[in-house]
Chains A and B, each alone.
Chain A
Amino acid sequence: MEDQREIVRTHDVRKTYYMGSEEVHALSGISTTIFAGEYLSIMGPSGSGKSTFFNMVGGLDKPTSGEVYIDEVDISQLDIYELAWLRCRKIGYIFQTFNLIPVMNAIENVSLPMIFAGTSTDESRDKAANLLTRVGLGDRLTHRPIEMSGGQQQRVAIARSMANDPAIILADEPTGNLDLKTGQEIIALLTEMKEERGVTIITATHDHKMLAASDRVIWFTDGKVHRIEHRADLDIQVGTIGGME
């Protein structure tokens, strides 16, 4: 964040859905910049458009109008193969519901993105084992999702999102299905990953615990950016969060 290089930039992004004949403006003109290496939280009540915005940034959805640039490339110009490539190697996804493949064990789940990227089986298994050890699951390598707790599953998901050394991690409500303590551990792990690997972390959340770890918070209301807060502003508001870094 010192060099403040832009990694994602959106320009007047609008998204309109049609429910029957009624127009619903999920996003009404979002222009924002996300910097490489920062931990950004998108906050807002449900229906504020944060998920829609989030999906745009992840290349999962296309805006009705406006542009989304990832590393200066307008992603609406990418074809399906380029989008799959981007999703596979440059963006790691973390979901609220973990979304691990139930028939695969931890190591196979983490290997999956590497297999899609064309890495050899041995190499991807080695790396998966290392990543799982890194997130504290070295003794759970061959456990299936059903044999793990929610927090452990989310750790596997974090290891999986890191598999291809992405530049951006998109985490949609990563603590939404976890209890307070486990949620805090997951946030701490994400923060460590950010420091260690220099990835940009973007989370959508309405969990106020996430605020403490964030470098910046964008508040959404009614499909618009309501306000943007920096960590300095947050410190004043929340007070005792210095220890979280």
Chain B
Amino acid sequence: MHKMKRIFNQDEDRRQKPIPLSKTFEMCMRNLKNRRGRYVLIFISISVVVAFFVTTLSYQRLVNELRTTEDIQTIAVLQRAGALLADAESDKQQRDQMIWLLMLSGALCFVGVTNTMYMSVTERYQEIGTLKCLGALDGFVVQLYIIESFFIGLVGSAIGCIVGYLLTIVQAGLILEFGILTISSLFYSFIYGVPPALFGGTILTVMAAIYPTMAAARMKPVDAMRVEI
């Protein structure tokens, strides 16, 4: 007969330790890879908003950059497009309008991401419960969802940035003229538009995932035992 193992030994540390972040990361990547179809909607909505953001910022900056030129041809083109001597008042008005639009689309995107992440949490209720039965701590579940949303945000924003910046160049070329775009104007408009959009889009997604993540982390392992949820 086998000797019976004791469950609680005196010398053993009986507290569960968090697993290394690299492991959580690995699991996240597997999740993302295998469920990418699920996230198409989030990707699209983030990308659209970020592209809009990039275009707005970069185009403004591009025109401003071109205005400083002394090149006669550029001045002529800007004048024809009515972009040379805009008065401060209408500039400001346009700016306010744009900020309002950006905020609105950002809010819509936020709600969309929260909703999709929440669905992804409820869909995986049993899975989260099972993980907890197997010894996962609440912190692990939080990490899992935060890392996941970070990558969704990052990739979605990156796609949005590429699309948005290409649109900026197309927009400038169509309204103004491709020939007048200088390296420096392109460079500055890129620097001005893309990094904040990439950063903003990623942060927005992570923030939108916080509530669903809390809901996931709080769920009890006993729910995994139930057949119907």
A residues apposed to B, CB below 8 Å: 2-3, 5, 7, 36-37, 51, 54-55, 58, 60-61, 70-73, 80-82, 84-90, 93, 95-97, 99, 101-104, 112-113, 115-118, 160, 165, 167-168, 172, 176, 197-198
Contacts and interface: CB of A to CB of B under 8 A. Distances in A.
Interface of B: 1-8, 14-17, 19, 23, 30-31, 33-35, 126-127, 129-138, 140, 220-222, 224-225, 227
Given A70-B7, A99-B224, A116-B16, A198 B135 contact: no
Contact of B4 (A3, A55, A89, A118): A3
A165 to B, nearest CB: 8
A7 B126 CA distance: 28
B15 A115 contact: no
B133 A71 contact: no
Given A37-B4, A93-B225, A117-B135, 20 more contacts: A7-B7, A60-B221, A61-B220, A61-B222, A80-B138, A81-B15, A84-B16, A87-B221, A88-B134, A95-B130, A95-B225, A99-B224, A104-B30, A112-B131, A113-B135, A116-B16, A116-B134, A116-B136, A118-B19, A160-B134
B227 A71 contact: no
B130 A99 contact: yes
Contacts of A60: 133, 220-222, 225
Contacts of A197: 2
Contact of B7 (A71, A97, A99, A103): A71
A207 to B, nearest CB: 14
A55 B222 contact: yes
A7 B140 CA distance: 30
A60 B133 CA distance: 8
- List of 4 A-B pairs having minimum Cβ-Cβ separation, nearest first: A88-B135, A198-B2, A71-B7, A84-B16
Nearest to A161: B134
Given A82-B16, A115-B23, A116-B134, A73 B8 contact: yes
Contacts of A58: 133, 225
Given A90-B7, A93-B133, A103-B35, A85 B15 contact: yes
A27 B225 CA distance: 18
A135 B35 CA distance: 29
Nearest to A157: B130
Contacts of A70: 7
B interface SS class:
loop
Nearest to B13: A85
Contacts of B140: 116
A168 B6 CA distance: 11
B192 to A, nearest CB: 40
Contacts of A97: 126, 227
A88 B220 CA distance: 15
22 contacts: A36-B4, A54-B225, A60-B133, A61-B220, A61-B222, A70-B7, A72-B8, A73-B7, A85-B16, A85-B135, A86-B7, A89-B135, A93-B224, A97-B126, A99-B130, A104-B30, A112-B131, A112-B134, A115-B19, A116-B19, A116-B136, A176-B227
Contacts of A82: 14-16
B5 A167 contact: yes
A187 B16 CA distance: 31
Nearest to A90: B7
Nearest to B4: A36
B2 A37 contact: yes
Contacts of B4: 3, 5, 7, 36-37, 167, 198
Contacts of B133: 58, 60, 87, 93, 99
Contacts of B3: 198
A93 B34 CA distance: 25
A148 to B, nearest CB: 16
Contacts of A3: 1, 4
B28 to A, nearest CB: 11
Contacts of B126: 97, 99
Contacts of A117: 135
